[in-house]
């Protein structure tokens, strides 16, 4: 950790951050406890943070439990990701009414305004996911002005991971656990026997301006060492590993591997993995009318490559079997995404593992396919 770029903020002064953001016109979105999970919602003070809560995660398992301290950010990641603010689950694109002659009139495009958001609590894997989704939504020749408006003035306050969960494998993907860019300010939470404080790193000019409104002090050697120890602890606690060596070509070579049929016998095609994934971006468009046919609206909604209708064209579905749909999802995430967007579509957050009802593990599936090649090579 850079000595010149690190500062400390005491826990009792933490709410000054909310005040400074409010004065700048930001709506703060951060973690809070709701419905027995840690989710991202609009919050107004540190009292709404998941104080003293952590989460335990395993394949097909997510539970909150109490910590033995009052950490504000002592959890891993919940079912929500910041994707819902970059690409909302549902957007009304326009609405119209029919006039007396049967034509459409009063065609009203949906307003393209967005709140001025400050994201509080983004982890390193999530920062990478935001960057990946930006390339998908904004990197092409035809971008949606609404997508750009949602990202242009977002202020990001990252939280460095001090622990890793059993489903985390960001180290394998090169996306964490410590954020190095993509934030305005990054916090490392440190709890000692007689002191609770944060070590701050500034990542942008406006982050420095924001810091100037807070009661802070230069971080000393002890504070910097404590923050570094927390980062190292998280890196050593990864619950999963994914060998990404030649992963793109590995999957291309194994499109007919028997493992796809084995995983299909367990997969429910429920789409949970795509809903919680911070980078999955499939959407569909639907027109709805009232019973009289006088009013029509067009909506864009999240969709999933696991639904039969998503790949339906004239003549039927392109991917009619669960086998083909799971193969499409995993191969796109780890292989064809690289061809399309220049990077993997996976950031190692582990959400797809924890929130799969039957505990399907993408790292286990990739390992099984790799191992099947090794077995094949060993045969006489």
Whether residues 281 and 136 share a domain: the answer is no
Which of 205, 236, 267 terminates a domain? The answer is 236
1 domain residue, yes or no: no
Whether residues 253 and 200 share a domain: the answer is no
242 domain residue, yes or no: no
- C-alpha span between 280 and 270 (Å, rounded): 15
Average pLDDT of the residues in 186-192: 97
Which of 236, 269, 285 terminates a domain? The answer is 236
Residue 102: per-residue pLDDT: 67
Average pLDDT of the residues in 78-82: 95
70 domain residue, yes or no: yes
pLDDT in tens, 283-311: 999 999 888 878 889 999 999 999 988 88
**217, β-bridge pairs:** 8
Whether residues 177 and 69 share a domain: the answer is yes
Whether residues 196 and 275 share a domain: the answer is no
Average pLDDT of the residues in 175-197: 96
Work out the angle at residue 180's Cα, subtended by the Cα atoms of residues 178 and 186, and round it to the nearest 5 degrees. 75
Residue 63: per-residue pLDDT: 97
Please give the structure tokens belonging to residue 56.
């335990």
315 domain residue, yes or no: yes
Whether residues 190 and 321 share a domain: the answer is no
Burial class (CB in 10 A: 0-12, 13-18, 19+), 152: exposed
Whether residues 168 and 264 share a domain: the answer is no
Whether residues 254 and 367 share a domain: the answer is yes
- C-alpha span between 173 and 333 (Å, rounded): 12
Which of 179, 205, 236 terminates a domain? The answer is 236
Please give the structure tokens belonging to residue 331.
């191969």
Average pLDDT of the residues in 29-48: 97
Residue 183: per-residue pLDDT: 97
Whether residues 188 and 284 share a domain: the answer is no
Top-confidence residue, 316 or 33: 33
Average pLDDT of the residues in 307-334: 90
Q: Are 311 and 319 in contact (CB under 8 A)?
A: yes
Residue ranges making up the domain that contains 316: 247-378
Whether residues 149 and 269 share a domain: the answer is no
Q: Work out how many domains the chain is built from and give that number.
A: 2
């Amino acid at each position: 950790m850079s000595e010149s770029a690190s500062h400390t903020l005491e826990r009792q002064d933490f709410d000054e951050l909310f005040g400074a953001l409010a004065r700048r016109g930001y709506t703060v979105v951060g973690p809070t406890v709701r419905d027995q999970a840690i989710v991202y919602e609009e919050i107004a003070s540190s009292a709404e943070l998941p104080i003293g809560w952590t989460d335990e995660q395993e394949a097909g398992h997510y539970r909150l439990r109490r910590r033995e301290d009052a950490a504000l950010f002592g959890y891993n990641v919940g079912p929500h990701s910041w994707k819902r603010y970059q690409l909302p689950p549902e957007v009304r694109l326009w609405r119209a009414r029919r006039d007396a002659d049967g034509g459409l009139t009063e065609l009203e495009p949906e307003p393209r305004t967005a709140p001025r958001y400050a994201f509080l609590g983004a982890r390193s894997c999530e920062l990478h996911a935001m960057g990946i989704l930006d390339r998908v939504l904004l990197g092409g020749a035809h971008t949606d002005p609404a997508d750009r408006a949602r990202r242009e003035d977002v202020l990001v306050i990252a939280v460095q991971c001090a622990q890793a969960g059993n489903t985390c494998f960001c180290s394998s993907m090169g996306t964490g656990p410590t954020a190095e860019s993509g934030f305005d300010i990054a916090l490392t939470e440190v709890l000692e026997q007689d002191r609770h404080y944060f070590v701050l790193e500034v990542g942008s000019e406006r982050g420095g301006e924001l810091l100037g409104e807070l009661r802070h002090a230069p971080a000393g050697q002890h504070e910097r060492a404590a923050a570094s120890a927390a980062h190292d602890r998280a890196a050593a606690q990864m619950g999963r590993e994914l060998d990404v060596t030649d992963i793109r070509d590995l999957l291309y070579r194994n499109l007919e591997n028997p493992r796809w049929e084995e995983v299909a016998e367990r997969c429910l095609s429920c789409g949970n993995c795509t809903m919680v994934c911070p980078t999955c971006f499939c959407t569909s468009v639907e027109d709805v009318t009232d019973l009289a046919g006088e009013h029509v609206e067009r909506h864009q909604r999240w969709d999933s490559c696991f639904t039969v209708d998503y790949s339906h064209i004239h003549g039927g579905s392109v991917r009619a079997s669960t086998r083909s749909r799971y193969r499409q999802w995993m191969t796109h995430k780890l292989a064809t995404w690289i061809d399309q967007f220049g990077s993997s579509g996976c950031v190692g957050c582990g959400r797809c593992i924890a929130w799969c009802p039957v505990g399907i593990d993408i790292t286990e599936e990739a390992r099984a396919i790799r191992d099947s090649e090794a077995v094949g090579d060993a045969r006489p």
